[in-house]
Chains A and B, each alone.
Chain A
Amino acid sequence: MTESSSVLEKDTSARKGRVARPIVLMIIAGWALTVLWHAWQLEGGRGDEVGPAAVPVALATLLLLLIAADLVRFRRSPGSDPHDRSHWQVPAPLVLFTGTVVLSFAVMNLAGFGLGLALLILICAAGVERLRPLRAVLTTVLILGVLYVVFVSLLQVPIELLPQ
């Protein structure tokens, strides 16, 4: 790897980090707020009878304070403009993989876990790892076969392959 490509990659990573950090913090903060709202309806407890809400409320409050502190630090850090998305292209394999996961999950719900899993492995092999079609099919069959032998035959873990 040349020095310039290394610098470029690090810069891209830094940009992704800048965008991801506030988004992640907002998602976590949103969940912490729902926990607080939910906990409001639970018994907080007092004295020696610590209720089910006491610890979650303390944790959610602490989490919000930590997030606030991290956001302040983020705002003060150099190059922290979250709107700067220039030159950040989401890699095609990542998009394909995420789409495949969503599609396979839908197939699993409609046509059973087995079919959805086969589809997932096949697209991962052919699309993401770019194996030739025949090799991708063989890989799918091989992986499914090994998993079946290990989980169902050897470990006798019941797996519902068809929809219930």
Chain B
Amino acid sequence: MDFLSLVTDGLATVLSDPSTLLWCLIGVFVGTVVGALPGVGTPTAMAVLLPLTFGLEPLSALTLLVSIYLGGMYGGRISSILLNIPGDASAVVSTFDGHPLARQGKVGYAMTLSAVASFIGGIIGFIGLAALSQTLADVAIEFGPAHYFLLIVLVLLMTSGISNARPLRSLIAVVLGLLISTVGMDPVTGDERFTWGLIDLWDGVPLAVVAIGVFGISELLMRLDGRDEPATVGGVQKLTLRALFPSPRSLARYSPSMARGGLVGFVIGLFPGAGASMATFVAYATEKVFARDTSRFGKGDPRGLAAPEAADNGSVGGALIPTLALGIPGSAAGALILGGLVMAGLQPGPQLFTASADIVWPLIAAVLVANVLLLVLNTVMIPMFAAGLNVVLPLLTPVITALCFVGVFSARGSLFDVGVMVLLGLLGYGMRLGGYPVANLLLGVILGPILEDNFRKALLSSQGRYDTFWDGPLAIGLITAIITAVTLTTVFKIRSGRSLHAVASLRTPSYAPDSADTDAPAGR
């Protein structure tokens, strides 16, 4: 139980540092607000606010990003329950029973129950993160460059296949991202690659420029295109504090659902590409299996709200493990946290737990602090959030636009970067219209340098022998995992394609890129 003392020390660091606490509070507040805004996903908020971390201490910067991530998970349910409009993909399931509860006049009950469920899920995720990340990091020390290369290939394939309806388009987005990451000076030979002689491109395309362009600007364009119409919350009822608190008996009754949901979310969150959206659906299905009477599901059954909410937040802890322990994110939000680690001058991967233990354990402890803050914020301040949504929505375009421009310009004071951001925003907009997930592009950009570096190191250490990629049990295990992932994805796609075909034969044929195409991988 060595991790307990490490977490305790980390907790002491966070609680004794007012600036970290303040950024944690700001992060959970911003995350909740953004998560509640329909159409503006958590990765978008993280990408747009990434430049805020430039001037911060590493711990404060990373705490801010993780807090936004967690806040987004909590916030997503607000518009699901109040408006029947999910804040993002992983909040879709919360509409099934959350909104019917609200329509029955139990808005406060639904909001608080879901907040408590989110808290319990978040705590389960935190315990798993604290207990397992060090172990995984210890195992990962055995990894050589060839293993890392194979692991990244596995992650990229999984993020392209598992949660996505269109693996081919996801692969195109991933490979495009990988190719963008090769722009700039070659780190080994110093050759200029694809810079067209532009000095501004010698250091490559900065991560913040790509992230803000493909998420922030394209999000704005999509909203203005009318596909993500800003919703109004004029119909939100006035909530009293008294109406917000469910009875302890009610909370105790649904705590098994929350615990199951949290566990399901944590386990699914561990897998790259599966993420929060899949976790919520699986948790909902699991709850139906455990329930004796399923007739109330979809009509306002509290179990149908508690379990997916717990899963949504439980998945965060799971998703952070590969990001911190292996330096390999499995989702867009994880990728942005990894970007924050790199920008803070830290080396993601197993060494993080030894070389930067003074950062990583307080960061893990910050997950606990953020969850506690979120529970308070999402119960007591729900009436304020509901009213605040009305104020913020009409100002979204100027606020997000200004944040995008200032964010990119503040990094290097370069208008060239601003221009590249706009171009990438237009590309991202086109990709989203065409059904190409921009999150996969970002994953490619972030993992590209690690992929290439390990590929070259592996061949260098093996003196050019390619059998290094299938030499030894670890490599064979990873290759087996890759083959299994590809096979399962293919079989799953063929089977789902047949069922879709059967449904389509009953309807008018139509081409429409669905949300799964654009928002995958991993929900967040």
Contact = CB atoms under 8 A, between A and B. Distances in A.
Nearest to A102: B422
Given A17-B512, A151-B406, A108 B418 contact: yes
B182 interface: yes
Interface stretch (B71-79, B131-139, B223-231, B336-344): B223-231
5 contacts: A55-B452, A63-B175, A91-B224, A97-B401, A128-B398
Contacts of A98: 221
B405 A120 contact: yes
A115 interface: no
B225 A66 contact: no
Contacts of A11: 510
Contact of B459 (A21, A48, A160): A48
B509 interface: yes
Interface string A77-116: 1111000000000110110011001001100110001000
B55 interface: yes
B430 interface: yes
Contacts of A108: 415, 418
B221 A97 contact: yes
Contacts of B419: 105
A156 B415 contact: no
A18 B397 CA distance: 27
Interface string B382-423: 000000000000111111011101100110010100110010
B511 A69 contact: no
Given A38-B194, A139-B395, A52 B175 contact: no
A42 B193 contact: yes
A52 B455 CA distance: 12
Contacts of B406: 117, 147, 151, 159
A48 B225 contact: no
B397 A97 contact: yes
Contact of A52 (B191, B225, B410, B413): B191
> 3 tightest CB-CB pairs across the interface, nearest first?
A155-B55, A48-B464, A47-B464
Nearest to B517: A17
Interface of A: 9-11, 13-14, 16-21, 23-25, 27-28, 31-32, 34-35, 38-39, 42-43, 46-53, 55-56, 59-60, 62-63, 66-67, 69-70, 73, 77-80, 90-91, 93-94, 97-98, 101, 104-105, 108-109, 113, 117, 120-121, 124-125, 128-129, 131, 139-140, 143-144, 147, 150-151, 154-160
Contacts of B436: 24
Given A56-B179, A79-B511, A113-B415, A124 B398 contact: yes
Given A48-B460, A94-B225, A155 B511 contact: no
B455 A124 contact: no
Contacts of A62: 175
Contacts of A109: 415
Nearest to A131: B394
B431 interface: yes
Given A48-B459, A121-B398, A128-B224, A79 B171 contact: no
Contacts of B221: 94, 97-98
B434 A24 contact: yes
A101 B511 contact: no
A78 to B, nearest CB: 4
Interface string B455-481: 110011011100000000000000000
A20 B429 CA distance: 9
B517 to A, nearest CB: 9
Q: Which of A104, A121, A131 gathers most chain B CB within 10 Å? A: A121
Contacts, number: 198
A21 B169 CA distance: 10
Contacts of B464: 46-49
Contacts of A78: 509-511
B203 interface: no
A35 B194 contact: yes
Contacts of B395: 125, 129, 139, 143
A7 to B, nearest CB: 9
A13 B512 contact: yes
A103 B98 CA distance: 44
B493 to A, nearest CB: 12
Contacts of A128: 224, 397-398
Interface in B430-463: 430-431, 433-436, 451-452, 455-456, 459-460, 462-463
A113 B418 CA distance: 10
A73 B513 CA distance: 14
Contacts of A27: 427, 430
A90 B436 CA distance: 20
A124 B397 contact: yes
Nearest to B171: A66
Interface in B189-226: 189, 191, 193-194, 220-221, 224-226
A79 B509 contact: yes
Contacts of B227: 9, 13
Nearest to B396: A129
B458 to A, nearest CB: 9
